[in-house]
Amino acid sequence: MTEHRAQSTDFSLLVFCILCSVFCVLSLSCGKKGPPTLKSYEKPDAPTGLKAIHREDMIILSWSYHKKENLKKFHIFRAEDTNFQKIGSVTKDETSYTDADFKTGVIYKYKVVARSMKNILSNDSNVIVIKPRPVPSAPKNISYRIGYNALSISWESSGEGIFYNIYKSYEKGKYNIAPINNEPVKATSFSDNFDLSRPVYYTVRCVLYNEARDEGHASDEIEVGPANFTPSRPEGLNTVLADDKVVLIWKENPETWVIKYRVYRKLSESEGFKPIGESATPAFTDREKTGTKHTYRVTAVGPSKESEPSKEVAVDF
């Protein structure tokens, strides 16, 4: 009798193990997830580096966050005294928020909280305090000048105590939130490297140099492209006769973006100047001897435009 009960127990245990194995296989094949881990219930990290910029009629908040694996969203809170109220939320992939419901001259406090997939809230981010002030008007008469190795942008002064931010884009009308200058500039001009391959767009904003960086509306947009790059005329053209050839030399143009030089020759007034060759360096050799008077001039060629011609030099063979 005891032996029969033992065999029955062993058989039942075997069946139980088999059923467990089958259940596990079916669970895996059906793609069912295992039990949640304790990691998913961990408190998320707090957002860091919260800062604010007052631009036109917006207060733009931005912050940093690194570990987003179990994150769901961010909640934004604002207070006019000591009582914070939630004013909005953004997804975990966004680290900025725009507050358009505020008044100038009022002190506001902001903070951001992260929320996990399990609805667990993080500690508060750093709290920032901002008192938006009326923003200055847009700069006027923005213009540019192509220099030897840089582009110079300039505009009219907007008055004492006004600083400026410069924005750059390769797409017309669309600019990043951050200017290309690290700090607001006091001068009414700014130098930047230029791009020879495609058009570039610029705009300038006035800014009050305070913690909120109260920033006004954008200036008119200017377009700077290779089609606008015109070199200066070559200087110092001279000739040297050597046997049956004429060697032309001149000063190298100061613009670093000059691509080549084009040489012109005139044999008669009726024919006028005609191009006879090009050179990447400020020198050219004319080997054609016609027995008549030769008059030469040279131009510098940029990405798409040609300079005015140099002074003319005549040679008698």
Q: Could you count the other beta carbons within 10 Å of the beta carbon of residue 134?
A: 10
Average pLDDT in the chain: 87
Mean pLDDT for the stretch of residues 247-276:
93
pLDDT at 3: 44
- pLDDT tens, residue by residue, 222-242: 999 888 789 999 999 999 988
Is the pLDDT at 5 greater than 50? The verdict is no
Q: How far apart are the first and last CA of the chain?
A: 135
H or E segment and range at residue 16: helix 2-29
pLDDT at 229: 86
pLDDT at 13: 43
The CA distance from 191 to 149, in Å, is 10
pLDDT at 270: 87
User: Is 79 in contact with 118 (CB distance < 8 Å)?
Assistant: no
The CA distance from 124 to 102, in Å, is 22
Is the pLDDT at 195 greater than 70? The verdict is yes
User: Is 80 in contact with 96 (CB distance < 8 Å)?
Assistant: no
pLDDT at 96: 96
pLDDT at 138: 96
Q: Which amino acid is at 95?
A: T
- pLDDT tens, residue by residue, 107-154: 999 999 999 999 999 999 999 999 999 999 999 999 998 888 888 999
Mean pLDDT for the stretch of residues 269-292:
90
SS3 228: helix
Share of the chain above pLDDT 70, in %: 87
Range with lowest mean pLDDT among 57-61, 214-218, 243-247, 309-313: 243-247
Share of the chain above pLDDT 90, in %: 67
Mean pLDDT for the stretch of residues 243-258:
91
Is the pLDDT at 15 greater than 50? The verdict is no
Is the pLDDT at 21 greater than 80? The verdict is no
**Phi then psi dihedrals of residue 271, to 5 deg:** -80, -30
The CA distance from 206 to 159, in Å, is 10
The CA distance from 8 to 45, in Å, is 55
Q: If pLDDT is split at 50, 70 and 90, which confidence band does 212 have?
A: confident
